Amino acid sequence: MMKLTSLQKRVMSYPACIFLCICSAIAVHSFVIPFDFAPGGISGVSTMIQHMTGINSGYFVFLLNLPLVIMSIFLLGLDFTIRSSLAVVTLSVSFIVLNTLNFPTFVTEQSILSAVVGGFISGVAAALTFKMDSTMGGTDFIAAVIYKKKSHINIVWFVFAIDIVIAIVSIFVYQRGIEPAILSIILMFVSSKTCDSIMAGTKSAAKFEIITEKPEIIKQAIYDFVQRGVTLIPVTGAYSGTNRYILLCVVRRREIPHMQSVLRSYDCAFSIQTNVYSVYGNRFGSVSKKKSGL
């Protein structure tokens, strides 16, 4: 199969971005607005303004994003801004068109179900847009700037923190008690977790740090049953002064049970398991360069 060139991939990303923005607009139009709660971000602010004024949220999505688009030109580059601006325009127009066409809405007595489904659709759309080196505008622009300056920060959860504030404000807008805020938080949590999982993708893994005085036995067991390499680091116990070793090993998610099974077989080891979201090299893939904030 012939590989696509860089230019072909870039061209194909535009219709894909448009499609994902339409899906995101449908998630808000069909699953959020009918139940009177805010989805978070600028879309959430626009939805609340629509509730108060009766003016379609698509207009406010466009207006509120304008200063962020200008900021993006200088901080994130023209190419990134063009794709993100296309997403903003598509999102705005989609809200207006869906409302004009009276696009079907999700009708159910279980409002929590609408928050879960809407959050899942929004999370998938946002993650795939991120992967195409773009955003859907709003707080994503701010997150992209922060990620460019401090790449160790998890931008998905940064956006989630901002959205919590919007959820609290929605209590006073919809005046239905705490229910709108709870539905907003559920939607945003599902969206963030979905987006985070997709962005991690096949690069996610688990890191094991095993402290032991008998490294050779455990190392060989990992070779035999997990078939992963191990890095051996000599250390000294701060309190006892005893010489020990740390065995450092990174495994894929599906290999975690095998690793845990090995460790349960030995009482001479103290182990720490942590999740890692970007692993490159050897059998985990290569590093790809990124030109923009994401």
Delimit the CATH 3.30.70.120 region(s) of the chain.
205-276
The long-range contacts involving 44-53, CB below 8 angstroms and separated by at least 24 positions, are 44/163, 44/166, 44/167, 44/170, 44/184, 45/166, 46/95, 48/166, 48/169, 48/170, 48/173, 48/174, 51/173, 51/174, 52/173
Buried b (16+ CB within 10 A) or exposed e, 124-161: bbbbbbbebbbbbbbbbbbbbbebbeeeeeebbebbbe
What top-level class would CATH report for the domain 205-276?
Answer: alpha beta
Provide the residue-wise pLDDT of the chain in tens; the chain has 294 residues. 445 566 666 777 788 888 988 999 999 999 988 888 888 888 889 999 999 999 999 999 999 988 888 887 887 777 778 878 888 899 999 999 999 998 988 877 778 888 999 999 988 988 888 777 777 777 777 777 776 666 556 666 677 778 888 889 999 999 888 999 999 999 988 988 888 777 766 566 888 998 888 888 888 888 888 888 888 999 988 888 888 889 898 888 778 888 888 888 877 678 888 887 666 666 555 545 444 444
- Please state whether the predicted TM-score (pTM) of the whole model is above 0.85: no
